[in-house]
Amino acid sequence: MKKAVIFDLDGVLVHTDRYHYNAWRILTDRLGIDFTQERYDSIRGLSRMDSLERILALSSRQFTQEEKEAMAAEKNEAYLQRVRQMNPEEVEGDVREALKGLREKGLLLAVGSSSKNAKLILERTGLTAAFDAIADGSMVRRAKPDPEVFLKAAALLQVAPAEALVVEDAAAGLRAAKAGGFQAVAFGGDAAGSGLADYEVTRLTELLELA
C-alpha cells in the first residue's frame, strides 16, 4: 500500500517549458547556436548547469567556468521574469482534482524537482499548501537521473521509497525514480512510451486508481 506520491513540477503540475525554451533561446541566439525545440526536448529534466553544458557542446567556442555561471544566471533571470507573472489560473483543473483526491485518500504529497525556482512557482500558482514537503534543486547536489531529489522528498515525508509513487514527464526523471527504489508513473513528455515506468497515465486523476 502506498503512503505518498511525489510529483515532478515542470510538465506535470505546471507547464513552464515554453518559458524555459524561450529563455534558452535568448542565450543561444546571442551565441549563434542553433537551438531547436527538438534539442530543448533532449535536455528536459536536467539541471540548469547540465543543460548549459549540453548546449555549449553545440558551439565551437570554449568557455570558462565564470562565463558558464554568468550564462546560467542570464538564462535564469530571463526565465524568472515570466515565472513572476504566473498565477493560479495556469494550473489545470485536473491537477487540483487529483491532489484533492489523493489527500482525501490519506496520502502524503511532495514535490521533487531539480528546479531551484520550484518554491516560487508553487507560490505563484497557489499550490504550496497542497504539499507536505518540497524538495528542490537548492537542496541537492546531484540532478536527475540521480535519485537524490526524490530520496530527499521521501525523507522529508518520512516514508520509504517503496512506499511512494513518483510522477514524471521526463525519461531522466523516471530513471531517477527507479534508481531510488520508487515505483514510477509516466505522464506525458518523453516519459510516455519510454518503457521506463511501472505505470503510465494520460490524466493525473488516474493516480487515484494507482495509489
The per-residue pLDDT string of the chain (211 residues; one tens digit each, 9 = 90 and over) reads: 799 999 999 999 999 989 999 999 999 999 999 999 999 988 877 888 999 999 999 999 999 999 999 999 999 999 999 999 999 999 999 999 999 999 999 999 999 998 889 999 999 999 999 999 999 999 999 989 999 999 999 999 999 999 999 999 999 999 999 999 999 999 998 899 999 999 999 999 999 999 8
**Is 203 found in the same domain as 118?**
yes
Q: Cα–Cα–Cα angle for 171, 175, 180, nearest 5°?
A: 150
**Is 62 found in the same domain as 153?**
no
List residues with catalytic annotation.
8, 10
**Residue 35 belongs to a domain with what CATH number?**
1.10.150.240
Task: Please say whether the beta carbons of 110 and 134 come within 8 A.
Answer: yes
Cβ contacts of residue 166 below 8 Å, gap of 6+? 5, 6, 7, 8, 112, 150, 173, 174, 176, 177, 180, 182, 183, 184, 185
Range of the domain at 26: 17-83
The torsion of the CA quartet 190, 191, 193, 195, rounded to 10 degrees, works out to 130
Cβ contacts of residue 132 below 8 Å, gap of 6+? 108, 109, 110, 156, 157
Domain count, the chain: 2
**Is 71 found in the same domain as 96?**
no
Task: Enter the pTM of the model.
Answer: 0.86
Q: How far apart are CA 157 and CA 110, in angstroms?
A: 8
